[in-house]
C-alpha cells in the first residue's frame, strides 16, 4: 500500500469512523451520509486527491437496509493513487449531501445518479434529469425497473400486472 | 408558433443571468441536429450580441441504456455492448471492459495477446485522431483535410475488418485474450500503414499548422486552465494541452505499456491550437508504440487456457468431451465471477475510460457503470466558451473531440 494512501485511509478511518475494505488491490472506505462531505474535503485538501473521477450507485433491491450504495472514485494526480468511498443508504427515496461544492465534476455525475437511480442529492446546484427526458417517470437503473418491455397481459393476470405498474409520483419525495 | 421556436427560459432560469430573463441577452438554441455539434449535442447559448455569455450543454439524446442492458448479459456477451458506446474507439472500449473482468476473475493474458491488444488500441487512437482531424478541418472550412484524413482512416478500418470481420463493431478483445489470432496479413498491413502515415501527418501539418486562417481561429480560443481541468475531472489530450503530463499509460500502466518507449506530449497554453498540436504529436507517439509492438510480437497462444472462463478452441470439441461441456456451459450459462467490485481504467483517445463492475457471484454483472471521458468534457465546455464569439463555439466543440455515444451511453 502506498504511503499517501495509507495516511489518507488511516486519517479518515480515525476521524470519521469509517470502515476500510480491500479487494483486488483497491481500497474502499465506507462512510455515512453525514460524514462524506467532510471526508471528501479532507481527502482533497490534506491528501491531494484532487480529482473526483466518478460517482455511481448500486441498487441492492429487494434488500432495503441498505438498499443503495453510492460509490465515489477519487484520484491523486501527482501520486497516481485511487481511493473509493462507499455510502450505504436505506429506503426507497434516499438522499445524501452533494459533493458539487468540493469537486465541480460531481455536478453532472450526481445528476446522472439521480436521473437513473433516484438518489437525491441535497444542496445540489442543478438537480435535473440529464439522460432522460424531464417528464420521465421512474428510475431505470433500479433493479425493480423492467428491461424495456411490457409484460403481456392476459385475462388471468391483467389485475396482477396493473397492480405492479408504477403510479406517477411513487418515488417522489 | 412561439412555443416551438423559443427556448423555455423557465426551465433554465437558475442557470441563466438576469439579463437573459429581462430580454437583454438572447438565448439561442444550437443543436441537437446541428452539423457542427459532432453528434446530437444540444447547446443553449446565452448571447450578448455575438459574444457567448453562458452556455448550457444538454445531453442524453443518444442515451440507449447500455449499462442496464449489460446487466442482462453474461460477461462474454456483454463485450458487444462496449463497442457501441464510443464508436470511434471500439477496441479500446473492449480493452477497458476486458481489463475489468480480468481484474475481477484474476485471469492471466498471454504475452502475444497483450502485445496485439496494445497494437490495436493504438491503431484505434490513430483512427480516432484522424477522424477528429477530418471533422475539425471541416468545421474550419478546410475541406481538403477532411478528404485526406478520411482516406487514411479507411486503411485503419480495413485492418479492423481483417482481424475481426467488422469495420467498427469489432468485439475482438475478449476476457482472457483475443477472439482469435490475427491473420498472417496483419503484420504486413500494419507495417504498410506505419510506412505511409508519418509522411501523411506531415502533409496535414503543412496544410494546417502554419496556416494563417487556422492560427487566427485557434490561438487563444477556448482556453481552459490546469486547475479548471482538474476541478472538472477533464482528462486526456485536453488536460495535457493545459500543461499536465498525465497519461494513464504511464501513470498506471496496463497491458504491458510500461515496456514501450514513448513520451507524453504536453503544451502549456490550453487553447484550441494546443489541443491540435498535442493530438498531432500523440499520433506520432502511437506510431512509435505500434512499431515497437510489431518488433517484439511474440508467438504463442492468444487466449488464456483457464477452461473455466475461456471457451476451448473449436478444434478440441470434436475429440474431447470436457471441451464440449465447457463450450456448451460457457456460451449458455457463462462463467461465475467472484463477488466484489472493481474499477479498471484505460487511457482512451479522449481521456480516462473506466469500467466499474460489481459482481454478486453470478454469471451476469450485477452492475456495470462506465466512466466515460466525453461526459466530463461536455460538462466543462461552458468554461471554454464564455467570452468567445459564436463562430468560435464551433471551433471549440471541434477541438474537444467528443463522441456523444461515449457521453450518453
Residues of A in contact with B356 (CB under 8 A): 54, 56, 71, 73
CB B369 within 8 A of CB A54: yes
Q: How far apart are the first and last CA of chain B?
A: 33
Task: Work out the angle at residue B268's Cα, subtended by the Cα atoms of residues B267 and B269, and round it to the nearest 5 degrees.
Answer: 100
What is the C-alpha separation between B286 and B124, in angstroms, rounded?
A: 10
C-beta neighbour count of B398 within 10 angstroms: 25
Domain B66-304+336-408 has CATH 1.10.645.10: yes
Q: Is the peptide bond before A62 cis (omega within 30 degrees of 0)?
A: yes
pLDDT tens string, chain B, 409 residues long: the values are 344 556 677 777 777 777 777 778 888 888 787 766 677 888 888 888 889 988 888 888 888 888 888 888 889 888 998 988 888 888 989 999 999 999 999 888 999 999 999 999 999 999 999 999 888 888 888 888 888 888 888 988 999 999 988 888 888 898 888 888 889 999 999 999 999 999 998 988 888 888 888 888 888 888 899 999 999 989 989 999 998 989 999 888 988 898 999 999 999 988 899 999 999 999 999 999 999 999 999 998 888 888 888 888 888 888 989 889 988 888 888 888 999 999 999 999 988 999 999 998 888 899 999 999 999 999 999 998 988 998 888 888 888 888 888 888 8
Instruction: Look at B104 and A24 and tell me if their CB atoms are within 8 Å.
Output: yes
CB A31 within 8 A of CB A39: yes
Half-sphere exposure of A18 (CA within 13 A, CB side): 29
**Cβ–Cβ of B341/A126 closer than 8 Å?**
no
C-alpha cell, B79:
463485450
* ipTM for the whole complex: 0.85
Measured at the CA of B362, the angle between CA B359 and CA B368, to 5 degrees, comes to: 35
Residue A159 contacts by C-beta under 8 Å, 6 or more apart in sequence? none
B339 interface with A at CB cutoff 8 Å: no
Q: Which three cell numbers stand for residue B367?
A: 452492475
**Cβ proximity of A85 and A110 under 8 Å:** no
Instruction: Tell how strand A26-30 and strand A19-23 pair up.
Output: antiparallel
Distance CA B97, CA B255 (A): 13
Q: What is the topology classification, in CATH, of domain A3-164?
A: Beta Polymerase; domain 2 (3.30.460)
d(CA A35, CA A29): 11
CB-CB neighbors (< 8 A) of A141 in chain B: 67-68
Given an 8 Å threshold on Cβ–Cβ distance, is A131 in contact with B366? no
- Using 50, 70 and 90 to split pLDDT, how confident is the model at A55? very high
Q: Where along chain A do its domains lie?
A: 3-164
pTM over 0.80: yes
Domain ranges within chain B, ordered by starting residue: 66-304+336-408
Return all residues near B10 (Cβ < 8 A) that are at least 6 apart: none
- The answer to whether the CB atoms of B232 and A140 lie below 8 A apart is no
Q: For position A166, what pLDDT does the model report?
A: 59
pLDDT at A150: 67
Amino acid at each position: 500500500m502506498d504511503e499517501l494512501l495509507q495516511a489518507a485511509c488511516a486519517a479518515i478511518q480515525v476521524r470519521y469512523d469509517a470502515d476500510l475494505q480491500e479487494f483486488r488491490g483497491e481500497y474502499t472506505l465506507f462512510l455515512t451520509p453525514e460524514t462524506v462531505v467532510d471526508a471528501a474535503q479532507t481527502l482533497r485538501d490534506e491528501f491531494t486527491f484532487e480529482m473526483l473521477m466518478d460517482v455511481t450507485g448500486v441498487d441492492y433491491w429487494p434488500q432495503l437496509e441498505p438498499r443503495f450504495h453510492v460509490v465515489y472514485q477519487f484520484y491523486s494526480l501527482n501520486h497516481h493513487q485511487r481511493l473509493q468511498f462507499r455510502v450505504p443508504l436505506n429506503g426507497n427515496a434516499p438522499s445524501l449531501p452533494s459533493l458539487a461544492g468540493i469537486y465541480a465534476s460531481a455536478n453532472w455525475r450526481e445528476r446522472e445518479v439521480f436521473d437513473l437511480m433516484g438518489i437525491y442529492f441535497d444542496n445540489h446546484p442543478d438537480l435535473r434529469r440529464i439522460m432522460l427526458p424531464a417528464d420521465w417517470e421512474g428510475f431505470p437503473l433500479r433493479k425493480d425497473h423492467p428491461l424495456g418491455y411490457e409484460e403481456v397481459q392476459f385475462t388471468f393476470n391483467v389485475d396482477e400486472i396493473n397492480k405492479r405498474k408504477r403510479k406517477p409520483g411513487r418515488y417522489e419525495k | 408558433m412561439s412555443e416551438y421556436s423559443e427556448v423555455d427560459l423557465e426551465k433554465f432560469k437558475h442557470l441563466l443571468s438576469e439579463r437573459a430573463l429581462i430580454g437583454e441577452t438572447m438565448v439561442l438554441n444550437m443543436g441537437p441536429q446541428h452539423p457542427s455539434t459532432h453528434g446530437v449535442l444540444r447547446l443553449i447559448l446565452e448571447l450578448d450580441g455575438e459574444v457567448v455569455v453562458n452556455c448550457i450543454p444538454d445531453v442524453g439524446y443518444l442515451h440507449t441504456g447500455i449499462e442496464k442492458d449489460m446487466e442482462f448479459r453474461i460477461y462474454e456477451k456483454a463485450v458487444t455492448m462496449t463497442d457501441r458506446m464510443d464508436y470511434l474507439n471500439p477496441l479500446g472500449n473492449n480493452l477497458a471492459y476486458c481489463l475489468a473482468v480480468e481484474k475481477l476473475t484474476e485471469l492471466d493474458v498471454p504475452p502475444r495477446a497483450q502485445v496485439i491488444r496494445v497494437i490495436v488500441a493504438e491503431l484505434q487512437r490513430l483512427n480516432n485522431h484522424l477522424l477528429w482531424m477530418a471533422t475539425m478541418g471541416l468545421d474550419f472550412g478546410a475541406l481538403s483535410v477532411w478528404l485526406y484524413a478520411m482516406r487514411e482512416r479507411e486503411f485503419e478500418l480495413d485492418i479492423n475488418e481483417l482481424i475481426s470481420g467488422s469495420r467498427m463493431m469489432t468485439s475482438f478483445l475478449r476476457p482472457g485474450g483475443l477472439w482469435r489470432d490475427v491473420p498472417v496479413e496483419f503484420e504486413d498491413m500494419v507495417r504498410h500503414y506505419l510506412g505511409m502515415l508519418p509522411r501523411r501527418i506531415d502533409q496535414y501539418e503543412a496544410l494546417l499548422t502554419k496556416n494563417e486562417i487556422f492560427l487566427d481561429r485557434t490561438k487563444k480560443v477556448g482556453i481552459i486552465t490546469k486547475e479548471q481541468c482538474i476541478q472538472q475531472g477533464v482528462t486526456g489530450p485536453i488536460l495535457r494541452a493545459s500543461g499536465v503530463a498525465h497519461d494513464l499509460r504511464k501513470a498506471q500502466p496496463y497491458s504491458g505499456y510500461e515496456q514501450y518507449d514513448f513520451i507524453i506530449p504536453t503544451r502549456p497554453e490550453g487553447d484550441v491550437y494546443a489541443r491540435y498540436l498535442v493530438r498531432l504529436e500523440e499520433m506520432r507517439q502511437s506510431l512509435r508504440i505500434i512499431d515497437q509492438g510489431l518488433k517484439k510480437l511474440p508467438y504463442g497462444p492468444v487466449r488464456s487456457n483457464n477452461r473455466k472462463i475461456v471457451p476451448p478452441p473449436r478444434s478440441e470439441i470434436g475429440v474431447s468431451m470436457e471441451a464440449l461441456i465447457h463450450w456448451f456451459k460457457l456460451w449458455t450459462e457463462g462463467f461465475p465471477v467472484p463477488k466484489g467490485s472493481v474499477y479498471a481504467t484505460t487511457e482512451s483517445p479522449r481521456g480516462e475510460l473506466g469500467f466499474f463492475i460489481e459482481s454478486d457471484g453470478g454469471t451476469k454483472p450485477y452492475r456495470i457503470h462506465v466512466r466515460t471521458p466525453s461526459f466530463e468534457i461536455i460538462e466543462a465546455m461552458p468554461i471554454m466558451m464564455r467570452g468567445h464569439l459564436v463562430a468560435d463555439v464551433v471551433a471549440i466543440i471541434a477541438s474537444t473531440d467528443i463522441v456523444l455515444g461515449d457521453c450518453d451511453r
